[in-house]
Amino acid sequence: MSAHFEADWLSLREPVDARARSKELAERLARRWPEENRLRIVDLGAGHGSNQRWLAPRLPQSQHWTLVDHDPQLLAWAEATRLPERVSTQASIANLGNWPLPGDPAPDLVTASAFFDLASKALIDRLAAELAEHQCAGLFALSVDGHWACLDAGGSPLQDPETEQLRTLFNRHQQQDKGLGQALGPEAARFLPACLEQAGMVVTQQPSPWLLPAGDDSLVPLARQLLAGWAEAAREQANHEGLAAAWIDGWHRRLLDDLLAGQLGLSVGHVDVLALPAE
């Protein structure tokens, strides 16, 4: 199975991603190089360019980005982004299942956002080994950690057995092969930093959760798509495992009604990881 992402979905999440991401890790990264350096940067699973739009203006150095993705339409959108003059961009249509990293000489920075839940252990192992070998920095944002919750109007997590059951199914669905070997799903949020550390990198993590409070109309389109996506994945997983799935439609309707009535919020856990070569 290959992972396909709609530009609409990526656009809906972009402003929420931007608020959630760790500014502190980006600042620490920016301080790593003298301002007059020209950085070579590779963005894995770049999609329509959201990671570059967020990070490029935060790095004072001039930059050449290679945006890697297997979806040419998303990359065409990314290439049309207006960025500061010190930033140049090249798109590379490639399947990231076929390593190695693009770039000769090796890049100064390899980055990705919302990507590693799709990746396998083997891919992360190879990435960590290459970063350490070539002394590249890594900034990997917004890896889902599996801790999402439905919130009541006061912001407290709902204690709801159906939601628990749905989350378990969804997290197992995340671990199906998405075209890059068996996906780690939410396990990636723990495996990625551990693996980078084991390869000898100096690793710092920060939480970067989404918080979509009940009653914020501007967040309803994103929350609506999240609920629909969770329900669809859970349904597929239940069918795949031969489990009952009929209740999932009822769960979805119940939560959608609460969302539209301004009575339901959502939170989604993520982590950001900065990995620097040991001095």
Using CB under 6 A, list all residues that contact ligand SAM.
Answer: 3, 5, 10, 45-47, 50-51, 69-71, 74, 95-97, 113-115, 118, 179-180
Q: What's the start-to-end Cα distance of the chain, in Å?
A: 40
Q: Which residue's beta carbon is nearest to the bound ligand SAM?
A: 47
Contact present, 50 and 17 (Cβ < 8 Å) = yes
Q: Which is nearer to ligand SAM, 72 or 250 (CB)?
A: 72
Q: What angle, 0 to 180 degrees and rounded to 10, lies between the N-to-C axes of helices 220-240 and 7-20?
A: 110
β-strands 210-212, 265-277 pairing: antiparallel
Give me the least distance between CB of 92 and ligand SAM, in Å please. 10
Give me the least distance between CB of 43 and ligand SAM, in Å please. 7
Spatial neighbors of 239 by CB under 8 A, at least 6 apart, are 245
Give me the least distance between CB of 209 and ligand SAM, in Å please. 15
d(Cα 238, Cα 169) in Å, to the nearest integer? 7
Q: Which is nearer to ligand SAM, 17 or 258 (CB)?
A: 17
Peptide bond into 72 cis (omega under 30): no
Q: Which is nearer to ligand SAM, 15 or 155 (CB)?
A: 15
Q: Which is nearer to ligand SAM, 51 or 89 (CB)?
A: 51
| 182: DSSP letter | B
CA-CA-CA-CA dihedral for 132, 190, 74, 95, to nearest 10: 60
d(Cα 251, Cα 186) in Å, to the nearest integer? 22
Give me the least distance between CB of 18 and ligand SAM, in Å please. 10
E strand or H helix at 147 = strand 137-151
Contact present, 103 and 42 (Cβ < 8 Å) = yes
Q: Which is nearer to ligand SAM, 118 or 255 (CB)?
A: 118
Q: Is the dihedral of CA 29, 30, 31, 36 positive or negative?
A: positive
Distance of CA 203 to the CA centre of its chain: 18
Give me the least distance between CB of 112 and ligand SAM, in Å please. 6
Give me the least distance between CB of 221 and ligand SAM, in Å please. 16
Q: Which is nearer to ligand SAM, 47 or 186 (CB)?
A: 47
Q: Which is nearer to ligand SAM, 21 or 252 (CB)?
A: 21
Give me the least distance between CB of 172 and ligand SAM, in Å please. 19
- Backbone φ and ψ for 255, nearest 5 degrees, come out as -75, -35
Give me the least distance between CB of 107 and ligand SAM, in Å please. 16
Cβ count within 10 A of residue 181: 15
Q: Which is nearer to ligand SAM, 69 or 272 (CB)?
A: 69
